[in-house]
A and B are shown apart, each in its own frame.
Chain A
Amino acid sequence: MIFLDNLINGLSLGSIYAIIALGYTMVYGIAKMLNFAHGDVIMVGAYIAFCALQYWGFPPVLAIVAAMAVCTALGVTIEGLAYRPLRQAASLAVLITAIGMSYLLQNTALMIWGANPKSFPRTFINGTTLRIGQLSVSSATIITILANIVIMIALTLFTAKTKMGKAMRCVSEDRGAAELMGINVNRTISVTFAIGSALAAIAGVLLCSSYPILQPTTGSMPGIKAFTAAVFGGIGSIPGAMLGGVLLGVIEIFGKAYISTELGDAIVFAVLIVVLLVKPSGLLGKQIREKV
């Protein structure tokens, strides 16, 4: 019973990591950059949804749509203003710019919404508790897990079937060749950022529905964990991000429940290290052979 309870909690936490990790992994796969500001886009998404629900009286679904719209616009703007001028630069330069962007978003949020935490309101997502036998499960848990599955299927279909999805895979494989084939690389990357940021908005709403405290720093730690999850699963791989996120969540909960809450994070990272030593490119990552 306790085991099942922990498993469900782990899946729920892991699903949130997974949705965030999807954003990381898509951007990494296509633009070859670690978008450190991704976690902060989540925070912005959550704040927009909060404002929509609390101040503007939007119904929950519309609030999520508003958050997605704002985050998409934000993601594309960030990409256009800060990352595009650095397309040819060393990857570390882009990384530092992304870190600067993360500081910028956090401090802007501090200016706009203040330092006091906000509590995310009750919606249909986290409104009820379901009883299954002796288990009490929050509706947020179930919706998070379902949303995660839907998003993964949608993304997989998108990249496999649509023209834009194929263009993305092309750019991810070989940017130069894609350009030669007439693919608009800049547009493809913009679309990737748009999708990643829209996902971030959903992740923000789900994160704050399960853990309803909202602060300017809300996105940072889940962001880092999700980045870890993306690498864990093999960065650049969509099913990998999914698997990595879910596993990371389950390991975190089990580590805390059965070993020690004091060493919870250390356990997560230790497992990560062991996995990467055995499989150096992550669980589902491609093994790239270097040609001489």
Chain B
Amino acid sequence: MKMTRAKRSKIIYNIVTFALVIGAFFILQSMIDAKTISRSLKGQLVPICCWIVMAVSLNLVIGISGELSLGHAGFMSVGAYTGAVISGVLVNLYGVQDTTLRLVIAIAAGGVMAGIVGALIGIPVLRLRGDYLAIVTLAFGEIIRNLVNVLYIGTGDGRVYSSILNKKLPEGVTMLVDGAKGAVKIKPISTFMAGFILILITLVVVLNLVNSRAGRAIKATRDNRIAAESMGVNVTKYKMMAFVTAAVLAGMAGALYGLNSSTVVPTQFTFNQSINVLVFVVLGGLGNILGSVISATALTVLPEVLRAFADYRMLVYAVVLILVMIFTNNPTIRAITSRLFAPLKSFFRRAAKYAPAVGGAVKELGGEEEGEEQKHE
């Protein structure tokens, strides 16, 4: 089985990504079992998982598909609310006590709901380009927040009640979503394990999509829409594919996020939150999935580590953000740093040479359309 260099490095990249995520999980899990983990870190584990999934899925839209979306938090809120409602309904109406079952159903429902919303939004939005697309996704994010703010859902008498703008749900109804008060009385059922599995699912889905025929079509569209169109690529279809997949993943992350807390409020999913995820993606590198994983983790933990700085914390965060952007993007500074890291890079390149044996083992994870790719080359 002969492989090109590009193919090999792609597989190495995938192995490293999975190895890092799985390794980190086992280290953290053993720290939890040994009770050596700090409360603070333990409490952040599930949110970190959620932000990783958010960052990776947004990277699919921005890095791979090349569309600037500023409303990603909107999908997360759809997922969070759906998850909270489904979990509440399952307990209140059907008496489902098994938390794992409930969590799985809630996350799946969150994904489906966000996917539907994503498709509805994607149809008009993907006709636009560049900053116009950005502003419309921003607008949708804000509209979702505005609507959720006046949404009321409750259970009682064996049925689900809901209303919008109208506060008068019948007396005695157990409120699940209570307008500005958000989703209330959620029983937190999210676990670190669930977060880990969700990250794995996300990575498998996204890396597979990226390395598949569809992924190449998406990237071709990003690089040159007209050229791709003239080659017979159905641009709208592939852009939709990336957009809806990202929405589904964000919805699943949202459900996990919502069910990790006793309450969820609309103000958690503002434009600023979308921007936060965007920062993860850009800092990790556009199109770089592993980068998104690392930067989402680092930037979620960073403000917590900076707690020692007390009130100067957000100031320090802002300065770090600006400096990192300048240092990683200024050509002069980059030239200097890349020279510093050159030995490391060549080491990886050499390592890649001897990797084919390992590469075969993760073929199923890395690229399912192996044969096809070779035909192209």
Contact = CB atoms under 8 A, between A and B. Distances in A.
Interface of A: 28, 34, 82, 85-86, 88-90, 92-93, 95-97, 99-101, 103-104, 107-108, 111, 224, 227-228, 231, 235, 260, 262-263, 265-266, 269-270, 272-273, 276-277, 280-282, 290, 292
A133 to B, nearest CB: 35
B315 A86 contact: no
Nearest to A97: B325
A85 B312 CA distance: 26
27 contacts: A85-B326, A85-B329, A85-B330, A86-B325, A89-B329, A89-B331, A90-B329, A99-B275, A100-B319, A100-B322, A101-B318, A111-B311, A224-B271, A262-B165, A263-B147, A269-B146, A270-B139, A270-B143, A272-B139, A273-B136, A276-B132, A277-B127, A280-B129, A280-B132, A281-B132, A290-B226, A292-B226
B143 A266 contact: yes
B283 A96 contact: yes
Contacts of A96: 278-279, 282-283, 321, 325
Contact of B329 (A93, A108, A260, A281): A93
A39 to B, nearest CB: 12
Interface string B143-174: 10011011000000000000001000000000
Contact of B317 (A103, A265, A277, A290): A103
A22 to B, nearest CB: 17
Interface residues of B, number: 47
Q: Is the interface of B mostly helix, strand, loop or mixed?
A: helix
B54 to A, nearest CB: 16
B315 A108 contact: yes
A276 B278 CA distance: 23
A272 B330 CA distance: 36
Contacts of A231: 131-132, 135
A237 B112 CA distance: 40
Interface in B3-42: none
Instruction: List the 9 shortest-distance A-B pairs measured between CB atoms, nearest first.
Output: A100-B321, A269-B139, A103-B318, A89-B329, A266-B146, A104-B318, A100-B322, A93-B329, A231-B135
A34 B135 CA distance: 11
Contacts of B136: 272-273, 276
A107 B150 contact: no
B62 interface: yes
Contacts of A108: 315
Contacts of B68: 92
A228 B139 contact: yes
Contacts of A97: 321-322, 325-326
B314 interface: yes
A119 B321 CA distance: 32
B128 interface: yes
A224 to B, nearest CB: 6
B286 interface: yes
Given A269-B143, A292-B226, A228 B124 contact: no
